[in-house]
Structure 1
Amino acid sequence: MNLPSHGSNPQYLFKAMGRTLPKQFIDFSANINPIGPPSDLKEKWNDFYNEIMVYPDPLAVRLKDRIAEKEQISVDSILIGNGGAELISLVARYLSGKKIVVIEPAFSEYETACRANQCEIQYHQLKGPNFELNLDDLQTSLLNAEALFLCNPNNPTGIHYPKSTILSILEECEKQNCYLILDEAFYDFLIDYDSFIPYINRFSKLIIIRSLTKMFAIPGLRLGYLAAASNIVTELSALQPHWSINSIALLAGELCIVNNEFIKKTQSYIREERERLLSFYKQYHFEFTPSKVNFYLLRDPYLEGQMDLFEFLIQKEIIPRHTFNFPGLDGNWLRFAIKSKEENSKLMEVLKEWRHLHSSSLPEG
């Protein structure tokens, strides 16, 4: 069965499974803010209409200015992209032909983009359920490496690695003359996050990628940004198509990037729902990753693989994200986004039904 390599767009999943997409379903496969876009975006939407007749600013000056002010860095160290996917593709092209290490499990686009640019790929595999990361284990993998991709908070596990760990990796990369591409697509779901953007002035080969589509629930607009030393940004800019980001996305970004109240509201909601879900999973003997963001990995430890559970959920019109294309996971986990309270409750109800149907597999006592 050739399942889709991304979440969302469930019609392709159902087609691959030889099923008809139901009229009603809950899609847990896309890690988007369940609150939806900020209300001020909707209020301004009609005003954006006039901008479709005007070419977008190819330099994205106003959005860069707002990011620079928020992050306290130079605008010359910022590159705006058509979502994180474009920025990953640009970085892969910049690294064309180099030896790349990807800390797995990880977002599959790193490998896809790097292979398209004739990079030599090596995995550094972390082991579940805690997927611990430390420099001692990584040092051998870094020998002769020219670039390292690290997703933090990690997609698909939801685990956030502490600042001390990332700093030790940064220092080792600097010694080895190795780029560190730090994908922080979900950083703003963390409460009291300690930003690494100030470190672009200290570490010459640090490249940070961030997404605005996840927190602000605007994946249809495609928007993200990259922070790095100005010379790297200049070289990456030369690889980017002109007018890569549309006018509406830029205007939306200008509104969203300064909406700290919305971010705090989301963080509080996600933490509350995550604690409720994980408490339920513990009670009903499901294994899960110690996520700190808006998604997590889950498995029934009494199954050899998770396909039976996956198909049971599909039958119940609940769509999880499979993990067959995450090296090291190989379908042995399912990924779920945190959704609305009602949708999360429905998921727990269905998993409770699953557990009751398979109660004979539980250990006594």
Structure 2
Amino acid sequence: MAQANQHGGNVLDMALASGVDEASIVDFSANINPLGMPPSLRRALAETWALAERYPDPLYRRLHARLAAHHGCPASWILAGNGATELIYDLAFLLRGKTVLLLSPGFAEYRLALEGMDCRIREYRLAEHDDFRPDPRLLAALGPGIDCLFLCTPNNPTGQLIEPDLMQAITLRCRELAITLVVDEAFMDFIPGGVSMIDSLSGLPAVFVLRSLTKFYAIPGLRLGYMVSSDGQAVARLRERRPPWTINAFAALAGEVVLDDADYQRDSRQWLQEQQAYLFTGLHALPALKVWRPAANFIFFRCLRPGLDLQGLLLRQGLLIRSCANYAGLSGEYYRVAIKDKADNRRLLDALRKVFAHG
């Protein structure tokens, strides 16, 4: 049932295609915090509807200053965008005509953005027998002729983190060969104590780190992401070519508010600690699945029953999971599910047991 170039969260499309009522579907296909947006942001939005009556600051100075303070870096290093996806396309502009190494499986928008800028794509296939983890062999693939490397940690859709020692070795290799390094950390906020490349950017001008506020703070309808790089000239160049007002006023406000909500951050990590273990244990207990241990708020698995359309069968029970058939290097046997609250996670496990019991 997977559709080409489909992302998670396409509930309406899937409902229309299958004849299921959209309102009845529980969406496991989009990796969004089930706690919903922070209460602090709800209050701020309710009190600032007048923002819709005037144009936002086209430079988003308050937003960039708040993000810079959060990471302890100059505001000139930061460029916010209408979700991290917009920034991927911005970076593709800088890489026009270059040769880029992509890890497969990986987020499909990298390829789409780069091909739109006539970049040449080389693939580094991650192997299932290595749990889809990059290892030191990746260093050998970073040779002459490679202009840029895209990494995602934790990787989407496999959920695997790149080990800090390997990340350091990759960074050194890229610096030695003047290879631009793009590190997508869209899910890093879900990982307590997660090691971010942002902390190491000083002196590394050819490194660009992507972050998203959409997933952790549950604001996919507002859309907000940002990029951090010590290459101030490159950031300024992208800022100058950006059309005005690509971030709406409420999304910009969200970026100014949510980073201070320590209670929400604590509650979110407590939820994830409990429900990540619960859902992983339940999925791992099903003999028909091969499940990879997650690092963030989603779980990647393979269905071992050949020819079983697991997405379609679960959709009949009102549950939408993400088919990974349209990821390079994967087939229709692979799926990704978001970790939700306990009631929804239990419902998913019960539905899977029912599917496998009935063959």
Normalised to the residue count of structure 1, the TM-score between the two structures is: 0.93
Q: Is the 8 A contact 2:149 2:181 kept in 1?
A: yes
| Aligned twin of 2:283 | 281
Corresponding position of 2:306: 304
**Deviations along 1:56-86, whole A, 9 cap, x unmatched?**
1122111222221221111110111111111
| Structure 2 residue runs without a partner (length 5+) | none
By how many angstroms is 1:113 displaced?
0.6
Aligned to 1:38: 38
Matched-pair contact (CA < 8 Å) for 1:28–1:336: yes
Query: d(CA) in 1 for partners of 2:143 and 2:315?
Result: 41
- Give the TM-score of the pair, scaled to structure 2: 0.94
Aligned equivalents of 1:232, 1:135: Cα separation in 2: 29
Aligned residue identity for 1:178: I
The 1:137–1:181 alpha-carbon spacing in structure 2 relative to 1, beyond 3 Å, is closer
Alignment of 1:139-288 (within 5 A): 139-140=140-141, 142-229=143-230, 230-285=232-287, 286-288=289-291
Separation in 2, partners of 1:214, 1:18: 27
Cα offset for 1:299?
Answer: 2.2
8 A contact 1:101–1:142 mirrored in 2: no
Number of aligned residues: 355
Residues 40, 261 of structure 2: 8 Å contact kept: no
- After superposing the two structures, state which structure 1 stretch, 202-211 or 263-272, moved more: 263-272
What's the offset of the Cα at 1:236? 1.6
What amino acid sits opposite 1:80 in the alignment? Answer: A
Alpha-carbon offset, residue 239 of structure 1: 2.4
> Secondary structure, in 3 states, of the residue corresponding to 2:8?
coil
Distance 1:145 1:210 in 2: 24
Q: Structure 1 residues 128 and 48 mapped into 2: Cα distance closer, same or farther (>3 Å)?
A: farther
Q: Deviations over 1:213-244 (max 9, x none)?
A: 11111111111111002122112212211122
AA in 2 matched with 1:99: T
Q: 1:253-298 deviations in whole A, cap 9, x for unaligned?
A: 1001222331222112112111111111222222111211100112
Report the counterpart of residue 132 of structure 2 in structure 1: 131
Quote the offset at 1:95 in angstroms: 0.8
**Structure 1 vs Structure 2: percent identity of aligned residues?**
32
Distance 1:252 1:326 in 2: 31
With over 3 angstroms needed to count, the CA separation of the structure-2 counterparts of 1:150 and 1:249, relative to structure 1, is same
TM superposition shift of 1:174: 0.9
Alpha-carbon distance in structure 1 between the residues aligned to 2:32 and 2:134 = 26
- Tell me the CA shift for residue 300 of structure 1: 2.4
Q: Deviations 1:318-352 (Å, cap 9, x if unpaired)?
A: 11111111111122211100111111010011111
Runs of 5+ unmatched residues, structure 1: 359-365
- Identify which of 295, 299, 303 aligns with 2:298: 295
Relative distance call for 1:170 and 1:141 in structure 2 (3 A) is closer
Q: Deviations over 1:15-59 (max 9, x none)?
A: 4x4534454111100111111000111112222211111211122
Q: Is 2:11–2:25's contact at 8 Å kept on the other side of the alignment?
A: no
Are the equivalent residues in 1 in contact too, given 2:106–2:156 (CA < 8 A)? yes
Aligned counterparts of 1:183 and 1:199: Cα–Cα separation in 2: 15
| SS of alignment partner, residue 48 of structure 2 | helix
Q: 1:324 to 1:158 in 2, by over 3 A?
A: same
Amino acid at match of 2:340: K
Q: Is the 8 A contact 2:297 2:339 kept in 1?
A: yes
Could you report, residue by residue, the CA deviation over 1:128-179 in whole angstroms, capped at 9, with x for unpaired residues? 2611212323422544111111111111111112211111111111111111
In the other structure, the counterpart of 1:363 is none
Query: Do 1:124 and 1:141's aligned partners in 2 also have CA atoms closer than 8 Å?
Result: no
Task: State the Cα distance separating 1:94 from its structure 2 match.
Answer: 1.3
SS in 2 for 1:238: helix
**In 2, Cα distance between equivalents of 1:86 and 1:122:** 22
